[in-house]
């Protein structure tokens, strides 16, 4: 990253004005597009390699540690059940009918729990005119 006398940083790749992490808007978008197509483990290795090769500046504000992520286990389970294929981006076929039925029961139970948690609607009786 090069700093000029006016304080503007230049992109590590092309020399244009920096948006963030040592990259211009174009190269930061390309970096993010590649990173989003990877698993978390792949993305972390990708980022580390780019930083080591001086193609990306380290993050100034690292994300929350994975151990504190309340969604990690659920996301990992769903991602392993429905892996994304590059060709179709469609869920993989179910392993067995019993797994599918079990999964459907879990979804229905979650929906029922959500419905039960909703406040009941108030009904008002209207007076008949006449």
Are residues 1 and 18 in contact, defined by beta-carbon separation less than 8 angstroms? yes
* pTM: predicted TM-score of the whole model, two decimal places: 0.44
d(CA 11, CA 29): 13
- The number of angstroms, rounded, from the C-alpha of 74 to the middle of its chain's C-alpha atoms is 13
Structure-token pair, residue 90: 């469609």
Instruction: Return per-residue pLDDT of the chain as tens, 130 residues.
Output: 555 444 458 999 999 999 888 899 999 999 999 999 999 999 889 999 999 998 998 887 655 555 666 777 777 888 888 777 654 444 444 455 667 777 778 778 777 776 776 666 666 666 666 5
10 Å CB burial of residue 18 (0-12, 13-18, 19+) is buried
Cα separations (Å) of 71 from 21, 38, 74, 79, 115? 27, 18, 6, 12, 22
């Amino acid at each position: 990253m090069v700093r000029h006398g006016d304080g503007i940083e230049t992109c590590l790749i092309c020399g244009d004005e920096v948006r963030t992490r040592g990259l211009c808007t174009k190269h930061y978008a390309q970096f993010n597009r590649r990173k989003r197509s990877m698993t978390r483990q792949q993305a972390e290795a990708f980022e580390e390699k780019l930083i080591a090769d001086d193609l990306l500046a380290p993050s100034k504000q690292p994300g929350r540690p994975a151990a504190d992520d309340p969604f990690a286990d659920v996301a990992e389970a769903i991602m392993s059940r429905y892996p994304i294929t590059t060709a179709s981006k469609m869920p993989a076929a179910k392993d067995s009918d019993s797994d599918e039925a079990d999964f459907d029961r879990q979804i229905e139970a979650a929906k029922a729990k959500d419905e039960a948690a909703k406040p009941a609607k108030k009904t008002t009786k209207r007076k008949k005119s006449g």
